[in-house]
Amino acid sequence: MIRHLYATAVAGLLGMAALPALAANEVTLYTTREPGLIQPLLSVFTTQTQIKVNTVFVKDGLLERVKAEGGRSPADVLMTVDIGNLLDLVKGGVTQPVKSGVLDSAIPANLRGADGQWFALSMRARVLYADKGSKLTSFRYEDLANPRYKGKVCIRAGQHPYNTALIAAMIAHDGEAKTRQWLQGVKANLARKATGGDRDVARDILGGICDIGLANSYYVGHMKSAKEGTDARKWGDAIKVIRPTFAKTNGTHVNISGAAVARNAPNRDNAVKLLEFLVSEPAQNLYAQGNYEHPVRRGVMLDPVVAQNIGEVKVDPLPLTEIAKHRKQASVLVDEVGFDR
C-alpha cells in the first residue's frame, strides 16, 4: 500500500502544472541529495499545504554557496547527508535555531541539535554484510580487528565520510589509543585494499574475495530489490545482514540525512512547516519506502525488504554531535596507520 502511495506521489508530481516563479506561498530548498529521492515527499507537501517548493540541487559547496549569497540568499531550508556536513553548516553560521514541539517530539534527542540548529530526517545504519552461508548471528564493531578475520574483511576507504564517522564514534567510546589499535587490526584483516563503494563489499563477498564487510544499510534494499539477473541483485542475494553493535552501549552506529533552517530564510515559517511535515508519519513512511532508509520517527513501518533483511535498529545513544567532534581526529588516524594504502 505504501509503495503504491509512493508511486502515486511521483505520478502526481509529474502531472502538476508549474506554479508561477514568484508565488507568494513558497519555500526554497537547497539540497545535496538527488532531487528524485525526495521530490515525491515535496509533492505531497505542496498538495497538502499549497506551499510551492523551489528545489535547488547543490552537488558540492553548499556551505560556500550560501555564505557567498549572504543576506540575499533565497535558501529557506538546507538539506544534506552525513552529520559532519550538517554540523559544518551550523559552524559556518548559515543556519538558525528553531523551537518546535513537533520536531522535538518526533526526533530523538541524540538525532537533533540541542539548540534546534539541525534535525535528522532519516537514518542509515553501518551494518555488516556477511556471506549468506555464514553462521554469524551477532557481531561487535570491535570484532573487525579480531585475528580470526585475517584476510576476510572488505571495506571502502577509511577516509570516506561513512567510515570516518564510525571511527570517530570508536574514538568517542574508547579513546584514541584503543581506536588506533583497533584500526591497525582491521587493516591487518583486509582481504584487499580499502577502496570502492559499499555495494562492492557485497560484490566481493560473492566473488569469494572476502567473507564480511561494513556497508550502509540502505544499499541492501537497493540490491535485494533489483531486477532478477542484474549484477546488483546477484550481489544482494549473496549476502545476509547483521546489525553490529558497540561493546559499551550495545547500540548500532548510524549516520543521517538531515536539514536546517537557513539563517537568512525569507520564508522562515514555511521552512519550519516543511521540516515538521518531513518528520510526520506519512512523510516518514515515504522516506522508508522510497529510499530504504530507517525513519527517525518511532513506530513507522519499514520497507518490507529492509524489515526482512535488517529489521529495526537499536541506535547507539551517543549524540551525533559528540561523534562529529572526533571527525578530524579519525581522519588523521586513518592516514597515520596507512589504512587506505
Same domain as 31, residue 14 = yes
Same domain as 186, residue 326 = yes
Give the tens place of pLDDT for each residue, 50-102.
999 999 999 999 999 999 999 999 999 999 999 999 999 999 999 999 999 99
Q: Give the burial class of 19: count Cβ atoms within 10 A of its Cβ; 0-12 exposed, 13-18 middle, 19 or more buried.
A: middle
Question: Residue 151 is part of which domain span?
Answer: 125-252+315-336
Residues flagged as binding site for Fe cation: 218-219
Interatomic CA distance for residues 129 and 32, integer angstroms: 27
Q: Residue 341 domain-assigned?
A: no
Q: Residue 166 domain-assigned?
A: yes
**Which CATH number does the domain housing residue 119 bear?**
3.40.190.10
Q: Cβ neighbours of residue 305 under 8 Å, at least 6 residues apart? A: 220, 221, 224, 225, 292
Same domain as 215, residue 90 = no
How far does Cα 66 stand from its chain's mean position?
22
Give the tens place of pLDDT for each residue, 238-287.
999 999 999 999 999 999 999 999 999 999 999 999 999 999 999 999 88
Q: Residue 215 domain-assigned?
A: yes
Same domain as 105, residue 139 = no
- CB neighbours (10 Å) of residue 317? 12
Does an H or E element contain 175, and which? none
Q: Residue 172 domain-assigned?
A: yes
Q: Output the pLDDT for position 210.
A: 98
Q: Cβ neighbours of residue 251 under 8 Å, at least 6 residues apart? A: 245, 314, 315, 316, 317, 318
The torsion angles phi and psi of 295, rounded to 5 degrees, stand at -65, 155
Give the tens place of pLDDT for each residue, 269-281.
999 999 999 999 9
Give the tens place of pLDDT for each residue, 99-135.
999 999 999 999 999 999 999 999 999 999 999 999 9
Which grid cell is 131? 556471506
Q: Residue 95 domain-assigned?
A: yes
Same domain as 268, residue 221 = no
Number of domains present in the structure of the chain: 2
Interatomic CA distance for residues 119 and 113, integer angstroms: 6
Same domain as 248, residue 159 = yes
Q: Residue 93 domain-assigned?
A: yes
Which grid cell is 114? 540541542
Same domain as 329, residue 194 = yes
Residue with grid cell 554531535, as numbered in its chain? 321
Same domain as 291, residue 328 = no
Residue with grid cell 522562515, as numbered in its chain? 268
Same domain as 204, residue 57 = no
Residues flagged as binding site: 218-219
Q: Residue 213 domain-assigned?
A: yes
Give the tens place of pLDDT for each residue, 319-329.
999 999 999 99
Same domain as 232, residue 129 = yes
The residue ranking higher by pLDDT, 152 or 15, is 152
Does an H or E element contain 183, and which? helix 176-189
User: Taking Cα atoms as reference points, which of 53, 44, 42, 45 lies closest to residue 19?
Assistant: 53
Burial 79-113 (b: 16+ CB within 10 A, else e): bbbbbbbbbbbbeeebbbebebeebeebbeebbbb
Same domain as 324, residue 231 = yes
Same domain as 176, residue 231 = yes
Q: Is 155 left (phi over 0), alpha (psi -120 to 50) or beta?
A: beta
Q: Residue 265 domain-assigned?
A: yes
